[in-house]
Amino acid sequence: MNTEREEILRLAKVDKVFGGDVQALRNMSLTVRKGDFISLLGPSGCGKSTALRLIAGLSVPTSGLIDWAQPRGKGDLGVVFQEPTLMPWATVTQNVYMPFRLEGKTLSSVKDDILSVLKLVGLEKFQNAYPRELSGGMKMRVSIARAMVTNPKLILMDEPFAALDEITRFKLNNDLLEMKERIGCTVIFVTHSVFESVFLSDRIMVMAARPGRVIEEVTVDAPYPRDEEFRTSADYVAHCRAASRALEQAMEAAA
């Protein structure tokens, strides 16, 4: 990990308590630097989505701080959910245009940005298609394009590939890393999957439930770009073993 890279965001001792007694997150600290690919890995209920919602500003911490290094502007944050959440009545282009529309920009002024992100996700031939004409993987690509189109400082992804079949998921994992290389974005990615977290991330925050907390940070120091060769390498397996062990400890800690 290169600590020289520009800092984007810092969480310091963040707690989130719901309804006075559900401690969804305890004492979470995390520094996010430009270019990081960080996974939040843990069992159901360990506070992964709560952490993303706090970072997105959709919820406020009960205590602790969430500090952006620079004031966050519109378009500085992209979010991808497990469901693609596309507007069924709108074309691919119109769906990807949405974040710009919220910024008050006209479609004609951002057409080139939309085309270039659709090329990035491999959907330039589907600009005028409607969501019902697309496969699950293609819909997720549109959702990723919509999150990336404003060139945000940070992209939050909440189990985006969990509902997809394994082959589509592997392909999207590969493509996501390729996109990250090409546009140099910064990602926080929520997943239940050890294999996915190791393939994608340079840092894995392994979390435990009741209360939700980070119990270990696993560093995946394998270089990018990563491809199918990495997925079958001894290095990959060794990192998966380390992350699995940390996850087992997380499950034991919550038992």
Ligand X SMILES: Nc1ncnc2c1ncn2[C@@H]1O[C@H](COP(=O)(O)OP(=O)(O)OP(=O)(O)O)[C@@H](O)[C@H]1O
What residues line the site for ligand X (CB under 6 A)? 18-19, 22, 24, 42, 44-50, 212
Residue with smaller CB distance to ligand X, 25 or 96: 25
Q: Which residue has the tokens 């560093």?
A: 219
CB of 187: closest distance to ligand X in angstroms? Answer: 17
CB of 76: closest distance to ligand X in angstroms? Answer: 23
CB of 47: closest distance to ligand X in angstroms? Answer: 4
Residue with smaller CB distance to ligand X, 2 or 44: 44
Q: What is the DSSP string of 21-81?
A: TEEEEEEEEEEEETT-EEEEE--TTSSHHHHHHHHHTSS--SEEEEEESSPPPTTSEEEE-
Tokens of 132: 């019902």
C-alpha distances out from residue 7 to 36, 93, 220, 231, Å: 10, 32, 19, 29
Residue with smaller CB distance to ligand X, 96 or 218: 218
Q: How many helices (H) and strands (E) does the chain have?
A: 8, 9
Residue with smaller CB distance to ligand X, 49 or 93: 49
CB of 46: closest distance to ligand X in angstroms? Answer: 4
